């Protein structure tokens, strides 16, 4: 997967995760967390260092913002 495709895929996963959190959907949350961990494990070395850092620290809202998404409403 190209770096741009990977980042787009991560952004999609983050959208699903943040929606799961918003809707208190435990299965969506756990599924997306697992997918994000898998992406980070397989492709983390190819990610921009700041994005990899945010994902490793589980700063998912900040990672979403880094990828050009709007900050989730609090």
Q: How many domains does the chain have?
A: 1
CA dihedral 45, 53, 15, 62 (to 10 degrees): -150
| 74 falls within a domain | no
Closest CA to 64 of 6, 8, 11, 9: 11
Tell me the per-residue pLDDT of 15-71, one tens digit each, with 9 for 90 and over. Answer: 999 999 999 999 999 999 999 999 999 998 999 999 999 999 999 999 999 999 876
Q: Quickly tell me which residue has 């990977």 as its tokens.
A: 6
Angstrom distance (rounded) from CA 56 to CA 14 = 14
Closest CA to 28 of 19, 38, 37, 41: 19
Q: Is residue 12 over pLDDT 90?
A: yes
Q: 69 or 7: which carries more pLDDT confidence? A: 7
Range of the domain at 12: 3-66
| 72 falls within a domain | no
| 34 falls within a domain | yes
Q: Find out whether 15 and 67 touch, Cβ atoms under 8 Å.
A: no
């Amino acid at each position: 997967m190209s770096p741009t495709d990977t980042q787009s895929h991560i952004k999609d996963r983050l959208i699903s995760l943040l929606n799961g959190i918003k809707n208190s959907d435990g299965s969506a949350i756990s599924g997306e967390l697992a997918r994000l961990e898998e992406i980070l494990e397989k492709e983390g070395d190819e990610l921009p260092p700041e994005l990899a850092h945010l994902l490793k620290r589980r700063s998912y809202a900040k990672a979403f913002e880094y990828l050009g998404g709007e900050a989730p409403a609090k």
